[in-house]
Amino acid sequence: MMSKNSGTVFYFRVEDPGYPRNARIRGYLARRRWDVRVHRRAARTRRFRALRDARAAFRGARTADVVVVSEISIPFVPVAWLAARMFRTPLAVDGFVSKYETDVEDGGRHDPKSFGARYRAFIDRFAVRKPDVYFVDTRVRRAQILRRYPDAHVLSLPVGAPAWARARAWKPVEDGMLRVLFYGSFLPLHGVPVIVRSLVFAPSVRLTLVGTEDHPGGTEDMRMLARELGVEERTRFLPTVPQEELADIIAAHDVVLGLFGGSAKAGSVIANKVWQGLACGRVVVTRESSALDELAPLAAGQLRTVPPGDSAALAASLEKIADSVGSLPWHEWSKTAERLERYVDSEFAALDTALTDRRAGWSVRPRIGLR
């Protein structure tokens, strides 16, 4: 006999169903026998897209048992909250991408005293205080939010590594150079200038950067920086590739780089590339962060850290790896993915219970007015 369906989840305003964050959460819910219905962000001009998405929120909430707002849609939490309350449906919000952190603290696109910054701060507060459940990606971020909003129900749901991120046999290269990889969107929290500058102090390193970004600090700016520093010959740029193709690229390198920015956000998150590099059995070097405490026991020796923004320290760490690359326990690290997956599953165990409990709670009391 098949077990009973847990209920219907309306996963609101997903930009990319292949993005590891929402894919991981949706996959877990599906395994727990939730019927997950994905709403893709409307593909229209900004004004009409917002109207179509708002209408979809009400339609979805009407027939769902739980509404989940995806990681890129914090500005739409108010409309999702209104729709959920109208139809007596519990609301969960994935706070993986904070608007204030991303646009003000990290991106510097708004002055902290501007209306734009204050609006983003308001949206972030609303997104934490109003839903029934709020998701973050590290224990550190959960603790930070609970100190500020002790009444919030916050779950730490780690990003984890996708199924394609699995170890392949390590193979040395004849020229003795250390093959180092960075991939991403060249955001300020990534600290890509720190990475490029480290090559000046790390003559044994050959760097590959994967990404196609035309914003300030993006691909072309980093090409120019490499030329100015005289390290262009040891720097290779590749265009953005589909997630699954990253496995081949990671396998051809010894080291995967994480984050090196100095912002508060950079110090409280664990980047996708950190999880993926570890799961692929490669050495991962990233900035020091208390968020990494939950991973350190699972990747002893494989996970290396340096002070944020310190190119010289990064170079020293890479040169140390280069000196011992042939004697590192690559075979042992091929088992890291299993340890990471068990850890992620243990952290996710609270999600099914939280949604089920809140669904039951809303079924016996009215959902009227503001909390």
- The model's pLDDT over 288-306, given as tens digits with 9 standing for 90+, comes to 999 999 999 999 899 999 9
Both 151 and 282 in one domain: the answer is: no
Q: Residue 92 belongs to what domain range?
A: 7-161+342-362
Average pLDDT over residues 325-349: 96
Q: Please give the pLDDT value at position 3.
A: 53
Question: 182 Cβ partners below 8 Å, 6+ apart?
Answer: 190, 192, 195, 207, 208, 209, 210, 256, 257, 273
Average pLDDT over residues 257-284: 95
Both 22 and 129 in one domain: the answer is: yes
Q: Please give the pLDDT value at position 368.
A: 41
CA dist., res. 123 & res. 75, Å (int): 6
Q: Please give the pLDDT value at position 367.
A: 44
Structure tokens at 150: 């002790």
Who has greater pLDDT, 252 or 113?
Answer: 252
Lowest mean per-residue pLDDT among 17-21, 84-88, 300-304, 324-328? 17-21
- Residue 189 maps to a domain: yes
Q: Please give the pLDDT value at position 2.
A: 43
- Residue 196 maps to a domain: yes
Both 48 and 133 in one domain: the answer is: yes
Average pLDDT over residues 139-168: 96
**Residue listed under structure tokens 């999600």:** 351
**Which pLDDT band, with edges at 50, 70 and 90, does 53 fall under?**
very high
Both 116 and 218 in one domain: the answer is: no
Q: Does residue 330 have a pLDDT over 70? A: yes
Average pLDDT over residues 223-237: 98
Residue 178's beta-bridge partner residues?
205
Who has greater pLDDT, 224 or 104?
Answer: 224
Q: How far is CA 268 from CA 68, 137, 187, in A?
A: 23, 9, 16
Average pLDDT over residues 311-337: 97
- Residue 191 maps to a domain: yes
**Which pLDDT band, with edges at 50, 70 and 90, does 93 fall under?**
very high
CA dist., res. 371 & res. 155, Å (int): 20
Contact present, 308 and 287 (Cβ < 8 Å): yes
Residue 210's beta-bridge partner residues?
183, 238
Average pLDDT over residues 44-65: 88
Q: Does residue 80 have a pLDDT over 60? A: yes
DSSP, collapsed to helix, strand or coil, labels residue 344 as helix
Q: Please give the pLDDT value at position 346.
A: 96
Both 25 and 151 in one domain: the answer is: yes
Both 149 and 187 in one domain: the answer is: no
Q: Does residue 26 have a pLDDT over 80? A: yes
Give the number of domains in the chain.
Answer: 2
Q: Please give the pLDDT value at position 34.
A: 96
- Residue 368 maps to a domain: no
Both 51 and 88 in one domain: the answer is: yes
Question: 38 Cβ partners below 8 Å, 6+ apart?
Answer: 11, 14, 17, 26
Question: 123 Cβ partners below 8 Å, 6+ apart?
Answer: 74, 75, 77, 78, 99, 100
Both 279 and 212 in one domain: the answer is: yes
Q: Please give the pLDDT value at position 30.
A: 96
Both 11 and 157 in one domain: the answer is: yes
CA dist., res. 342 & res. 348, Å (int): 10
Q: Please give the pLDDT value at position 45.
A: 66
**Which pLDDT band, with edges at 50, 70 and 90, does 221 fall under?**
very high
**Which pLDDT band, with edges at 50, 70 and 90, does 100 fall under?**
confident
Q: Please give the pLDDT value at position 78.
A: 97
Lowest mean per-residue pLDDT among 39-48, 197-206, 244-253, 309-318? 39-48
Q: What's the CATH code of the domain at 231?
A: 3.40.50.2000
- Residue 185 maps to a domain: yes
Q: Does residue 371 have a pLDDT over 50? A: no
- Residue 1 maps to a domain: no
Per-chain mean pLDDT for the chain = 92
In terms of DSSP H, where are the helices of 130-218? 139-148, 192-198
CA dist., res. 2 & res. 348, Å (int): 23
Both 236 and 155 in one domain: the answer is: no
Q: Does residue 150 have a pLDDT over 90? A: yes
Q: Please give the pLDDT value at position 232.
A: 97
Lowest mean per-residue pLDDT among 45-54, 259-268, 355-364? 355-364
Of the chain, the percentage scoring pLDDT greater than 90 comes to 80
Both 140 and 256 in one domain: the answer is: no
Average pLDDT over residues 22-47: 90
Both 182 and 327 in one domain: the answer is: yes
Average pLDDT over residues 128-151: 96
Of the chain, the percentage scoring pLDDT greater than 70 comes to 95
